[in-house]
Amino acid sequence: MIKNIENSSLKEYLLNEKNLQKENGIEDAVRKIILAVKDSGNESLLSCINKYEEKNLKSVDEVLFDQNYLEDKFNSLNDKNRDMLVYMADRIEKFHNKDIEVFKEFEDDSVEKYGYFLRPIEKVGLYAPGGKAQYPSSILMTGVLAKLAGVNEITVMFPGKIDDLDLMFASSHLIGAKRVINSGGAHTLAAIAYGTESIESVDKIFGPGNSYVSEAKRQLFGEVGIDSLNGPSEVAIIVDENSSIEYAVRDFLAQAEHGEDSRCFLIHLPGFDLNLFKQSLEKNLSKSKRKGIIDNALINCCSIDACSLEHAISLSNLIIPEHLEILIDDIDLDQIPEIQAGAIFIGTESSAVMGDYCAGPSHVIPTGGQGRYSSQVSLNDFYVKTSFVVATKNSYKKNGYKALLEKSISIAESEGLFEHANALKERDN
């Protein structure tokens, strides 16, 4: 069952947890996998798939599926499943569609024009977790944005048994994927980063995964772009005496069922009955179809007491959770900018599960405190931004053009870059 952590010890608890994760040998194991696939391509990839995913394949081609296969899977869905995927895709597109300006131009008194434009990334790889369940939502959360941005080539990756993954294949069709690789883990990320005899490399990798996937993304950054280091899923839930114990329990269990390494924090204000919460948690867990996974996940979960909402928010800001639920009504929304979290769900009827599916914002969110410098995936992440400056002979008629030259020359000379200065002096004559 969950641990009780003194609020004064939370910072130390989080630090110790990070140190334990660093000592688990994942970094070295992932490095060996990546180097093997980089050096030997299909041969090492096939070996890793058979070893880590417990398959018995003769060729990498057995895990590669083209657009025709994906279309057949989509068309074979019943109306209910097809409609739910389309509904979710539409909600995601609705949220993000107004999130971008692909061309921006400004007038200026020093040059004719300047601004920026965005071009879609050419090729992306979209990772979705698998093995313990199928997650079409993870494909749509990144794939809808890739399609909306105009990415030319989308490769989707997920592990699992083919017969259990119809929704995954169908979702891949819905986003216009060129191919699916039915494998996961560090070996698959290495394959699409470097390319193999059967798999083309991509320019950027998106999507959540386990600790091995997150570590692989960290090590591959620079060879390819990555969205962020999305590790094991996590939630912090703030409750007070008026919060529904059953809502909190259900949301706790929902987060824990993602995997054995999921993390859940219950931050409770005075008046909340922690004993009743634990009793309900145990009762509902005993009836859960995913009891084995949740049992292991709860080892990583804890409760923390807070004396006020402000104190609870300050504790949450130490965690900087992937998801933060504040199951309290009448929240002063002016407090929201003070909160550090990947995604926030406010009010007694809100739930992080809404964000997992059909609320609209992406559920690909930084974990493990990385929200202090990283954001959830958005449409911007699928573009490359390039600036432009237009300066012609007409610029000499501008009031500020000469000042732009003179100030730039002064800065160049102060830095000791005299050829920089001479390049502008030539234009200043």
**Given this model, what pLDDT does residue 269 score?**
97
Catalytic site positions: 322-323
**Given this model, what pLDDT does residue 359 score?**
82
**Given this model, what pLDDT does residue 167 score?**
96
Residues 186 and 34: beta-carbon distance below 8 Å? yes
Read off the amino acid at residue 231: G
**Given this model, what pLDDT does residue 21 score?**
60
Of 131, 105, 130, 107, which is closest to residue 118 (Cα–Cα)?
A: 105
pLDDT lower than 70: segments of the chain: 19-23, 99, 131-132
**Given this model, what pLDDT does residue 19 score?**
65
**Given this model, what pLDDT does residue 4 score?**
87
Residues 204 and 121: beta-carbon distance below 8 Å? yes
- pTM value is 0.87
Backbone conformation region of residue 157, classed left if phi is above 0, alpha if psi is from -120 to 50, else beta? beta
**Given this model, what pLDDT does residue 320 score?**
94
Is residue 156 classed as helix, strand or coil in its secondary structure? strand
Question: For residues 132-153, b (16+ Cβ closer than 10 Å) or e, as one string?
Answer: bebbbbbbbbbbbbbbbbebeb
**Given this model, what pLDDT does residue 22 score?**
61
**Given this model, what pLDDT does residue 209 score?**
83
